[in-house]
Amino acid sequence: LCIFGETHKEEDVGAKIPSVVVTRYYMKCYDAFILRDFDKVRDFAERFISQNLNNFSTVVLYHRSFYFGLISFWIGRETNKKEWVKIGTKTKVSMEKLSVLASTWNFQNKAYLLQAEEQFCARNFDDAERLYDCAILSSRKHKFVNEEALANELAGYFHLDTGRKYKSLQYFCQAEEKYREWGAVEKANELANYLRSN
């Protein structure tokens, strides 16, 4: 790791300042999730979990918790490992509580998206489809353009994985438009390239 221009061994930094290593693993995991690199997601998610984090789903770290919940559902679905789905479910419950007790404005769309991913894992496709749409509408209503883009993208993958390619393209088009509106040009271009090739 390079800190203030000096190179250090990860284990040395981790022993002195564990939060630096935890944050690094999370950010690598997050980047891989956004870029849809499953092998890197799984690798860094396992490293993140290995740090023995008992309470990473607190209000202060809700952003980390939200994305790690989505990541956990993806890993659980791809590997058929229930322990990952359990992590996602735990995060979903936290977001549901935050939506009711803290702020519907900030957390409702996140709770819907986690619920959709949970139903996708459980193969309850009708419920998943409805919840993806709820996540998209809630994100739009509460002006979270980035999360509206993400909800559209994940809905696109849901439809693609369940054999509805034409419907997936509609969601991917919306995701591309919203990523561009948010300023995530590289991500928008990635989706535009995918759309042109299909």
pLDDT per position as a tens digit, 63-101: 788 999 999 999 999 999 999 999 999 999 999 999 999
Q: How much is the pTM?
A: 0.88
Return the DSSP state at 58.
S
- Measured in whole angstroms, how far is the alpha carbon of residue 136 from the centre of its chain? 14
- Tens digit of each residue's pLDDT (9 = 90 or more) over 143-191: 999 999 999 999 999 999 999 999 999 999 999 999 999 999 999 999 9
* Cβ atoms 108, 74 nearer than 8 A: no
What is the distance in angstroms between the CA of the first residue and the CA of the last residue of the chain?
40
CA 45, CA 32: separation in Å to the nearest integer?
A: 10
CA 133, CA 148: separation in Å to the nearest integer?
A: 10
CA 109, CA 135: separation in Å to the nearest integer?
A: 5
CA 13, CA 115: separation in Å to the nearest integer?
A: 37
- Please provide the average confidence, as pLDDT, over all residues in the chain: 89
* Cβ atoms 116, 128 nearer than 8 A: yes
